[in-house]
Structure 1
């Protein structure tokens, strides 16, 4: 007489060591990602100022697309700007607000900024129009 062989269950695989390895890898990559130096920390993003259009035009140096400077309706040369601001009773330590025309080329704008730096205008604030 033949007896039926007893069926044995395969042993249950232990998944805890695999879970431990996955968590160790997760912790390793978290540390590896945070220890690397972030180059974006060296950049200070620009701050948009919400200012009424009339106030912006009245108190800012405007640069046309042809690289001409105007303060209000008055044309100004870079070399005469310091005396002009003293006449308008604007503090030389106050930031110089600059509104460049959107058609002004970057090369002309960089030249104007270098001229301003040459005449000791180091604190320049760029004003832009906020898109809707």
Structure 2
């Protein structure tokens, strides 16, 4: 009798890699698919509208000056102090387009240091 050489059991790593790869593709596709807009839908043209900040947002002008509800604010910490405890949870900033990024980061850090739990930057978003 001839003895066959014993084959070592193959590890199921290839099958595991295939399953993980298929799951990756599934989640990539399902995460990026969105229902298309109705072709008959005409979006609003906002080119001629005057941009206004939300009423509860801290406005940062191009020169770094701060204002809230039309009144000037001396410092980010002074703004946080004037807010009620519940309003300090989330502070919105509306920066001017010409404001340097370094200034915006400094103001956001100052707001966090003064007690703001979350600082949100309001920006313009367009659908094209």
Counterpart CA distance in 2 for 1:27 and 1:75 is: 64
**Contact map agreement 2:62 2:96 (CA 8 A) in 1:** yes
Counterpart CA distance in 1 for 2:78 and 2:115 is: 12
Q: How many residues align?
A: 89
TM-score (structure 1 length as normaliser): 0.52
| Unaligned residue ranges in structure 1 (runs of 5+) | 1-25, 37-52
Q: How does 1:54-69 map to 2 (within 5 A)?
A: 56-69=53-66
SS at 1:104 equivalent: coil
Runs of 4+ residues deviating >4 angstroms: 26-29
**1:120 maps to what in 2?**
115
Counterpart CA distance in 2 for 1:116 and 1:99 is: 14
TM-score (structure 2 length as normaliser): 0.54
Q: Which has the higher helix share?
A: 1
1:30 maps to 2:18: yes
**2:78 maps to what in 1?**
80
Q: Larger radius of gyration, structure 1 or 2?
A: 1
| Unaligned residue ranges in structure 2 (runs of 5+) | 1-13, 25-50
